[in-house]
């Protein structure tokens, strides 16, 4: 397997001449690319076109780029030849120049999964030198129309105090009365019909235990937030010291059933929890299937959050086995302690994964299994090398960015661990995001 390409990438079309923004060009749209756009060419220049589908002929309006720049970004504003999978976006602000939250509202849900599969395959070809047949699986727990699945949504607040969503690559806030990909619980929390003062963001989280949604407000720096009355929600304010309770609870309760057993979790504030209601069970099952844990085995859960995979693995390895969980967010570790206190085979470490993997207490132990679920940037070469040094029988890697996963796959291969299966899940319908679970074993 080849080593990963580490080319420096320009995040923005460099200003190399007169501003081209607003220029309209007619293009034939090429393949989908990572990031929610397709690739087109205009007079030899690459143009990343949003709101389009491969094979379409569109008029695209340039949104970023200058005359001499290597590439432009653009929005398809008129469709001259439409693909058969083009649909009317269900959300009125999922349009060029408006909300940047959804990338694929103009695409039928099954085709969205096809586009994501093509992106995952392309990232593995480019960054891991691996040819893969990828299928992106639909996830139960929400409707098959791709709407009302998001159990956690962060809203921005505009100058008038209205909640909304940001434009694509923009600070502009588009005020909204609804967000059709968010659950009715999020929308029903009342934040979209309210006005806030001195507030930067309003996060709403709904749990699966049926309790009222939790609204976490972050004030503008150095100010005190003015809050509306939200009788149908718990409310907390994020301060430098932590979460300040205004009303109700400062946490959300989650229930997950995997292999016939129900687990309950407490997720403090707007702490990390998968946003699709079907995600915890589907990912939990995929991790168990990838690791095939046996009673008495010893597992390590890296980037463990509030302990979702820790609990499932603890069940599977039983009282004779062990699970060591490592998580950097101390509040998440406290939540895990509350949820998992009955499992004597679980040990929770608060701290950086990078440091834990160098700790003699861990490196001297027998480790049979590792699950890792890093943030978007991936684990990185040093973490991958340290995992391989533990010599586990199998590794399950849960990834929300296929590019980072493909890069880390190349690092695993260099350390003698080969990719032995990959599943991809549509946990974020209407957006370009896709979640993967990869299994690695010793070559
Ligand atoms: C994608 S979440 C996964 C959480 C958990 N596995 C789950 O499914 O709920 C990533 C977690 O890694 C934690 N994290 C990020 N960087 C870290 C690091 N360097 N060391 C330890 N934890 C880290 C974050 O706080 C977050 O809880």
pLDDT digits (tens, 9 = 90+) for 354-380: 999 999 999 999 999 999 999 999 999
pLDDT for residue 14 is more than 70: no
Q: Please, which pLDDT band fits residue 274 given cuts at 50, 70 and 90?
A: very high
Atom of ligand 1 lying closest to residue 280 CA: 8
Q: Best substitution site from 281, 303, 428 to test ligand 1's pocket, by max atoms within 8 Å of Cβ?
A: 303
Cβ(301) to ligand 1 under 6 A?
no
pLDDT of residue 15: 53
Output the residue whose Cα is nearest ligand 1's atom 6. 304
- Residue 120 CB: number of other CB atoms within 10 A? 23
Q: Compute and round to an integer the Cα radius of gyration of the chain.
A: 23
The predicted model gives 245-261 an average pLDDT of: 97
pLDDT of residue 37: 98
Q: Best substitution site from 313, 375, 405 to test ligand 1's pocket, by max atoms within 8 Å of Cβ?
A: 375
Catalytic residues: 400
Q: Between residues 416 and 271, which one has the greater pLDDT?
A: 416
CA of 305 to the centre of ligand 1 (A): 5
Q: Please, which pLDDT band fits residue 6 given cuts at 50, 70 and 90?
A: very low
pLDDT of residue 349: 98
Residues 290 and 394: their CA atoms lie apart, in Å, by 8
CA of 348 to the centre of ligand 1 (A): 13
SS (H, E, C) 189-211: CCHHHCECECEEEEEEECCCCCC
Question: Can you read off the two tokens belonging to residue 148?
Answer: 């009302």
pLDDT tens by residue, 60-89: 999 999 998 999 999 999 999 999 999 999
What is the reported pTM?
Answer: 0.95
Q: What are phi and psi of 78, to 5 degrees?
A: -140, 135
Indicate the CATH number of 276-442 among 3.40.1080.10, 3.30.420.40, 3.50.50.60, 3.40.50.150. 3.40.50.150
Question: Can you read off the two tokens belonging to residue 130?
Answer: 């691996």
In this chain, the answer to whether the domains covering 152-250 and 276-442 adopt an identical fold is no
152-250: CATH topology is OB fold (Dihydrolipoamide Acetyltransferase, E2P) (2.40.50)
Q: Best substitution site from 208, 299, 328, 381 to test ligand 1's pocket, by max atoms within 8 Å of Cβ?
A: 328
Q: What are phi and psi of 98, to 5 degrees?
A: -110, -130
Q: Identify the bridge partners of residue 347 per DSSP, sorted by sequence position.
A: 324
pLDDT for residue 92 is more than 70: yes
pLDDT of residue 138: 98
Residues 303 and 40: their CA atoms lie apart, in Å, by 38
pLDDT of residue 240: 86
Residues 295 and 308: their CA atoms lie apart, in Å, by 19
The predicted model gives 216-243 an average pLDDT of: 94
Atom of ligand 1 lying closest to residue 301 CA: 6
Cα torsion 247, 153, 353, 399: sign: positive
pLDDT of residue 2: 32
Q: Please, which pLDDT band fits residue 11 given cuts at 50, 70 and 90?
A: low
Cβ(273) to ligand 1 under 6 A?
yes
pLDDT for residue 174 is more than 80: yes
Cβ(375) to ligand 1 under 6 A?
yes
The predicted model gives 4-10 an average pLDDT of: 40
Output the residue whose Cα is nearest ligand 1's atom 17. 328
Output the residue whose Cα is nearest ligand 1's atom 13. 303
SS (H, E, C) the chain: CCCCCCCCCCCCCCCCCCECCCCEEEEEEEEEECCCEEEEEECCEEEEEECCCCCCEEEEEEEECECCCCEEEEEEEEEEECCCCECCCCCCCCCCCCECCCCCCCECHHHHHHHHHHHHHHHHHHHHCCCCCCCEECCCCCCCCCCCCECEEEEEECCCCEEEEEECCCCCEEECCCCCCECHHHHCCCHHHCECECEEEEEEECCCCCCCCEEEEEECCCCCCECCCCCCCEEEEEECCEEEEEECCCEEEEEEEECCEEEEEEEECCCCCCCCCCHHHHHHHHHHHHHCCCCCCEEEEECCCCCHHHHHHHHHHCCCCEEEEEECCHHHHHHHHHHHCCCCCEEEEECCHHHHCCCHHHHCCCCCEEEECCCCCCCCHHHHHHHHHCCCCEEEEEECCHHHHHHHHHHHHHCCEEEEEEEEECCCCCCCCCEEEEEEEEC
Question: Can you read off the two tokens belonging to residue 431?
Answer: 């957006």
pLDDT of residue 171: 93
Output the residue whose Cα is nearest ligand 1's atom 5. 305
CA of 328 to the centre of ligand 1 (A): 7
Output the residue whose Cα is nearest ligand 1's atom 19. 352
Tell me which residue of 153, 155, 151, 245 sits closest to 195, measured CA to CA: 155
Domain ranges for the chain: 1-86, 152-250, 276-442
Q: What is the mean pLDDT of the chain?
A: 95
CA of 13 to the centre of ligand 1 (A): 32
Cβ(332) to ligand 1 under 6 A?
yes
CA of 326 to the centre of ligand 1 (A): 8
Cβ(353) to ligand 1 under 6 A?
yes
> Tokens 């995952």, residue?
120
pLDDT tens by residue, 398-419: 999 999 999 999 999 999 999 9
Cβ(435) to ligand 1 under 6 A?
no
Q: What's domain 1-86's architecture?
A: Beta Barrel (2.40)
Residues 18 and 67: their CA atoms lie apart, in Å, by 5
Indicate left, alpha or beta for 416 from its phi (over 0: left) and psi (-120 to 50: alpha): left
Q: Please, which pLDDT band fits residue 10 given cuts at 50, 70 and 90?
A: very low
Question: Between helices 402-414 and 381-389, what is the axis angle to 10°?
Answer: 50
CA of 151 to the centre of ligand 1 (A): 19
Output the residue whose Cα is nearest ligand 1's atom 20. 352
pLDDT tens by residue, 324-349: 999 999 999 999 999 999 999 999 99
Q: Please, which pLDDT band fits residue 265 given cuts at 50, 70 and 90?
A: very high
């Amino acid at each position: 397997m080849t080593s990963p390409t580490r080319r420096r990438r320009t995040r923005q079309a460099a200003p190399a001449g007169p501003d081209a923004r607003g220029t309209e060009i007619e293009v034939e749209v090429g393949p989908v690319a990572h990031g929610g756009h397709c690739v087109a060419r205009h007079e030899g220049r690459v143009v990343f076109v949003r709101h389009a589908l491969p094979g379409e002929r569109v008029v695209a309006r340039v949104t970023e780029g200058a005359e001499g720049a290597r590439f432009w970004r653009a929005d398809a504003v008129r469709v001259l030849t439409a693909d058969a999978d083009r649909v009317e976006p269900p959300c009125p602000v999922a349009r060029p120049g408006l909300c940047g939250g959804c990338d694929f509202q103009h695409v039928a849900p099954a085709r969205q999964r096809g586009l994501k599969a093509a992106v995952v395959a392309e990232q593995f070809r480019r960054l891991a030198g691996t040819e893969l047949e990828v299928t992106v699986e639909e996830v139960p727990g929400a409707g098959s129309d791709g709407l009302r699945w998001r159990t956690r949504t962060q809203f921005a607040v505009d100058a008038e105090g209205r909640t909304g969503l940001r434009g694509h690559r923009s600070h502009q806030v588009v005020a909204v009365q609804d967000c059709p990909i968010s659950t009715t619980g999020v929308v029903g929390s009342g934040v979209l019909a309210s006005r806030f003062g001195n507030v930067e963001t309003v996060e709403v989280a709904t749990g699966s235990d049926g309790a009222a949604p939790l609204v976490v407000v972050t004030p503008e720096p150095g100010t005190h937030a003015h809050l509306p009355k939200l009788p149908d929600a718990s409310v907390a304010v994020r301060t430098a010291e932590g979460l300040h309770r205004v009303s109700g609870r400062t946490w959300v309760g989650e229930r997950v059933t995997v292999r016939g057993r129900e687990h309950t979790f407490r997720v403090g504030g707007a702490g990390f929890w998968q946003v699709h209601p079907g995600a915890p069970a589907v990912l939990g099952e995929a991790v168990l299937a990838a690791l095939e844990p046996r009673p008495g085995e010893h597992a390590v859960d890296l980037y463990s959050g509030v302990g979702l995979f820790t609990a499932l693995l603890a069940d599977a390895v039983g009282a004779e086995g062990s699970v060591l969980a490592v998580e950097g967010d101390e509040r998440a570790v406290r939540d895990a302690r509350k949820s998992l206190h009955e499992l004597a085979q679980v040990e929770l470490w608060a701290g950086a994964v990078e440091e834990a993997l160098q700790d003699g207490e861990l490196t001297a132990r027998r480790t049979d299994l590792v699950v890792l679920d890093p943030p978007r940037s991936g684990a990185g070469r040093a973490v991958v090398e340290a995992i391989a040094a533990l010599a586990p029988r199998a590794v399950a890697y849960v990834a929300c960015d296929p590019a980072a996963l493909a890069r880390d796959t190349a690092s695993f291969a260099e350390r003698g661990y080969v990719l032995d299966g990959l599943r991809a899940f549509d946990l974020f319908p209407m957006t370009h995001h896709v979640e993967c679970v990869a299994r690695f074993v010793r070559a």
